[in-house]
Amino acid sequence: MVSTVTSTTVTTVTLFGISALLGLAAVLMLISYLVAKELLDATSHQRLRLISRRLNVAVLPLLLVFATIVAGRLADVLS
């Protein structure tokens, strides 16, 4: 009985640690992509502006992940 509770606790803590790490990685990637997009938009080269528009493919899903993270944290705070 005690070993089952201990292994369940270790598994739960490990999963929450991994999800927090993945959330942090997603937020850092979102910030870096948004910075790169703004820098590429500021240039006068057409090819770099095209790359900036292509970054939307990566930015939009990361924005959805960010919104999900914020909603989850907000739900935890309000409950």
pLDDT in tens, 23-66: 888 899 999 999 999 999 998 899 999 999 999 999 999 999 99
Check: CB of residue 62 under 8 Å from CB of residue 54.
Answer: no
- Domain presence at residue 40: yes
CB 49 within 8 A of CB 41: yes
Instruction: Kindly report whether the global pTM for this prediction surpasses the value 0.95.
Output: no
Task: Give dist(CA 6, CA 16) in Å, integer.
Answer: 16
Residue type, 72: G
Note whether residue 2 is domain-resident: no
The answer on pLDDT for 5 being more than 80 is no
| Residue 6 domain flag | no
Look at residue 61 and tell me if it is in a domain. Answer: yes
Say if CB 23 and CB 69 are below 8 A apart: yes
Question: 37, 55 in Cβ contact below 8 A?
Answer: yes
